[in-house]
Amino acid sequence: MAASSSDDSVHSESVTRVVEQIAAAAEEWGFFYISNHGVTVEDVTRFKDNMRAFFRLPKELKKTISRHATNSRGYFDNELTKNKVDWKEGLDFGGQQEDGPPASSGIRRMGDDENQWLDEMALPGFHAEMREYFDRMEHISQRLITAFALALGKPASYLDEFFTSTDSTGAIKRANSSFLRLNYYPVAPDPDKSMGVHHHTDAGAVTVLLQDDDVASLQVLHRPTQEWHLIPPRPGTFVINIGDMLQVWSNDRFVAPLHRVLANGRSERFSAPFFYNPSYDARFSAPFFYNPSYDAVIEPVPTEAADGSTKAARYQPFSWFDFRLRRFQGDYADHGEEVQIAHFRV
């Protein structure tokens, strides 16, 4: 979908066909591949080289930029999923608007969120490469959100407001809470007793995943059969999966898929998921990892039933900020049952 949200060509026959294919894959699997995305082989190779270089650094150096309970941006090697420790290391960072202290950007953040970077001398060019790749993933995510808006029978720009904010001059600026994660899964000495990542759904809107070309470890639960299926790497593609917020926006038409990452006893593995998330001011209800703005209120998108009436909303409105905060807190300690969108069902 090369067209922008405001371009009349989003209603062309070719775009309609792509939207229908995306919707069909999202309805059955919640996962699909995309190609012809505009990111070159050279771009991906350069990014992967930088990612591997980061994880090859001494752990003592990486831990100087560790994330913590009030700052979700940084390095970690002890994340919990479903209250169980994952067999991996990672680095999380947000958009350029999070490169300074929270008060400097005028955009709502979660806690003291601020990107943490190693000194340029430790890893020359790393920061610039990560920033460039982040922007590419955000562009792809925006096009996907356009496709999902069209699939829901709404204008192409219908969901854009959840990822932006307006300043005092009326100018629209990027305000989403999206982040890019670098993952490193070391060889597991006892893979049958550990998981790279335990089963979960992604909290945000959509996730754009770059897989390692050489190791297949990602699995998705196929809801119709209740069977786990490998999602093998396909060079030149990204793997897309929908998140909890899109499930709410679509009023359960698109269901966020349970997925997991197997530990591997023979090969290490690298991956890079981009989580497209709303603004933290967004508020969700049943009329949307690209995450919304933290200000977003989430609710289902109103859609028509066959008789012309509006379909009943299956979720009550809720705050993306509160939902994301409770999910993040569960990364650090066992707080009991993890918050799920099911808790907001009507």
Q: Shortest CA distance to 294 belongs to which of 162, 196, 104?
A: 162
Span 226-250, average pLDDT: 96
Domain boundaries in the chain?
8-334
Spatial contact of 289 and 202, defined as CB atoms under 8 Å apart = yes
Kindly report the CA angle at 225 between 223 and 231, in degrees rounded to 5?
A: 70
Note the pLDDT tens digit of each residue in 31-54: 999 999 999 999 999 999 999 999
**Which of 214-228, 277-291, 324-338 is the most confident on average?**
214-228
d(CA 159, CA 246): 10
Fold of 8-334: Jelly Rolls (2.60.120)
Q: What is the mean pLDDT of the chain?
A: 86
Instruction: Give the DSSP H/E element, type plus range, for residue 60.
Output: helix 59-62
Query: Count of CB atoms within 10 A of residue 123's CB?
Result: 18
Tell which residue, 298, 289, 324, has the closest CA to residue 111.
Answer: 324
Element (H or E) spanning 13, and its range?
helix 13-28
pLDDT-derived band at 258, boundaries 50, 70, 90: very high
* Direct distance between the N- and C-terminal alpha carbons of the chain, in angstroms, rounded to an integer: 35
pLDDT, greater one: 216 or 272: 272
Which of these, 103, 114, 107, lies nearest to 175 by C-alpha position? 107
Give the global pTM: 0.88
Q: How many helices (H) and strands (E) does the chain have?
A: 6, 18
Please write down the HEC assignment for all residues of 86-101.
CCCEEEEEECHHHCCC
Token pair for residue 196?
């790279």
Dihedrals phi, psi of 118, to nearest 5 degrees:
-70, 160
- Got the DSSP string for 190-248? SGGG-EEEEEE--SSSEEEEEPPTT---EEEEETTTTEEEE----TT-EEEEE-HHHHH
Q: Is the pLDDT of residue 287 over 50?
A: no
DSSP string, 275-331: EEB-EEEEEEE-----B-EEEEEEEPPP-B-TTSSBPPPSB--EEHHHHHHHHHHTT
- Dihedral of CA 323/279/209/77: which sign? negative
| Mean pLDDT score, 163-182 | 76
**Which residue's structure tokens are 């940084």?**
74
Q: 158 - beta bridge partners?
A: none
Check whether 335 has a pLDDT greater than 80. no
- Lowest-pLDDT range, 51-65, 270-284, 306-320? 270-284
CA distance 181 to 152: 29
